[in-house]
Every structure is written in C-alpha cells, then in structure tokens.
Amino acid sequence: MELFKKRAVILYLFILIAHCSFIYLEWNSWRFYSKLLLVPSLMLLLYAHYFGNKWNKKFLLPLAALAGSFLGDLLLAFDGATFFLLGMLGFMVTHICNSFYFYSLSKVQIKESKNAKLALLILTITCSLLVFVIKDNTGPFFLPIIIYMILISVMAILSANLADSKWYNNIAIHYFIPGAGLFVLSDGILAINKFNLQDPSMDIFVMLTYGLAQLYLVMGYYRVKN
C-alpha cells in the first residue's frame, strides 16, 4: 500500500498525459477508455491514504464528489443534448459535495473571510464575461449553465474561505484553491469551445486542466487529518 501511494500520482499523471495524447491523435476508442480511468485511479489513491486509519466520515463527501465526476465523465463521452445535461448534473453533484466538504472544515464565516470575498469578486467578473461570450449560442442550455456556474462558484468560494483558517490554510492554498481554480478554468474553456469555437483540439486543454484540478483536490483531501 505504501508503494502504491508513492507511485499513484505518477501513474495518474501518465494516464492523463496518455489521454490528452489520444485526443491529439484522434484515437477515439483509446480516448474513451483512458478518460474513464482517471477518476477511479484517484479513488484508489484516496482509499490508499485512508486504508488502515480510523474511519473518518469526511471521507464520504470526497468519495461522493469523485463518483459524481466519474458519472459526468462517462455521460459526456457520448454525443447529444441529453448526455450533456446529464453529464452536467453529475458534475453538479461533485460541486455540491465539495461545497459541503469545504464548509464542514471551515472555522471562519464567509462574511469575515477576505479570501472568500476576493474569490466572489473574481468569479462574479469571470462568470459574467463568460455568459456574455456564450449566451447567444447556448439555446436551451442557458438556464442549466447558469445554475452550474453558481454551484461551481460556491465551491470555489468555500475553498478560498479555508485559506483564512489556521488549521487548513496551507492545504487550501496549495491544493484546494488551485484545484477549484483549475476546475473553473476547465469548465470555462469547455463552455467557450462547445458553444463558440467548436475546435476538437481544445479538448486537450479542457482535460489537462480538469485532470490537474481533480488531482489537486484529492491531494488536499488526504492531507486533512481530522
């Protein structure tokens, strides 16, 4: 188990790089399966760090968040509006679980957190610009996208709130905030590409930022000791 923990991050990065390579090479079958290996490998990494330790109920929310992401990855691998909406729903579950998780760790009220207020300002500006850019092309997806933006923004703000906690300041700054930020960036690129650019090569940047986001979050999860 100790050997697995040491090498699991390297293995995950190898799968992520391979997946991005399959996108570039247009090896769609390999791309499909490599994508579905990403989240399960992170689940194993998380389990390895909890294995043999006293059970912690906070493990449930990260695991549920990863399960939502796996469902989202699977559904978004298929074409069609229904699969897109269901995939978005899977990631909504991810952001809700992460939001509750970050909130459960928080010892500082958001209204007293300078970092949360800064995150709120940045996300308000970013999401407003994104809506302005894609709104004419979203059609029936407009309302679900707005709801999704709210949920992922809440998650990112709550991760920033942890930076004001003396217990989780270091973990938030080095893992949770970068993870949340990369998640927002990845979904922003995905939205612009889906509704405006429609460039298949942009999927590489979507998956690279998404894959790193998930890794940062998981590395933060298993560093939380209580």
What one-letter code names the amino acid at 224?
Answer: V
Query: 99-128: buried (b, 16+ CB within 10 Å) or exposed (e) per residue?
Result: bbbbeebbebebeebebbeebbebbeebbe
**Taking residues 60-85, what's their average pLDDT?**
96
Q: What is the mean pLDDT of the chain?
A: 92
pLDDT at 216: 97
**167/123 Cα distance (integer angstroms):** 25
Q: In the chain, where are the structural domains located?
A: 2-221
C-alpha distance from residue 29 to each of 23, 32, 77, 100, 220 (Å): 10, 5, 11, 36, 32
Question: In percent, how much of the chain has pLDDT > 70?
Answer: 92
pLDDT at 165: 84
C-alpha distance from residue 124 to each of 164, 178, 180 (Å): 20, 18, 15
Encode pLDDT of 108-158 as tens digits.
677 778 999 999 999 999 999 999 999 999 999 999 999 999 999 999 999
pLDDT at 59: 81
pLDDT at 4: 64
